[in-house]
Each structure stands twice: as C-alpha cells, then as structure tokens.
Amino acid sequence: MPREIEWHGLYMPSLTALFLLVLVAGWGLDRLLAQIGFYRHAWHPVLLRVSLFTCLYSAVALLIYR
C-alpha cells in the first residue's frame, strides 16, 4: 500500500483514508451496539465508544502497515 495518496493534487497519508473508512465502520458498529442495548451495561458509554474506535483504527493500521 502506498504511504501517500494523491487526491485532486493534494497528497495525504494513507492513514487518513483509513481513518475515514474506520469512522464509517465504527459508526455502523456503534449503531448496532446501541440497538441491542450494549451501552446500558457500560459505566461511561462515550468513553467506550472512543475506545472502540481507537481499537478498530489501531487494528486496521497494524494490519496494513506490518
């Protein structure tokens, strides 16, 4: 995978594109977990959402860049 992506003359790191993909996937996972009532069991739902996003983003980045 290239380290930089060119988009309309703008060079950006490929992690930016991964961030956007994980953002969409994380939003879908968040909606699914909210529908099944997973967040009722969490002490701090917002903190859980942020940590889930961080774990997803880190896992995808490690899979791509190892």
Domain edges within the chain: 4-65
DSSP 8-state class, residue 7: E
Tell me the average pLDDT of the chain: 89
Q: Cβ distance 54 to 60 under 8 Å?
A: no
Beta bridge partners of 13: 4
Tokens of 15: 């992690």
Question: What is residue 29's predicted lDDT score, i.e. its pLDDT?
Answer: 94
CA–CA separation, 43 and 65 (whole Å): 33
Residue 49 CB partners (closer than 8 Å, separation 6+): 30
Question: What is residue 30's predicted lDDT score, i.e. its pLDDT?
Answer: 95
- Report pLDDT digits (tens) over 8-33: 888 888 888 889 999 999 999 999 99
Tokens of 34: 């909210």
Question: What is residue 16's predicted lDDT score, i.e. its pLDDT?
Answer: 85
- For the whole model, what pTM was predicted? 0.78
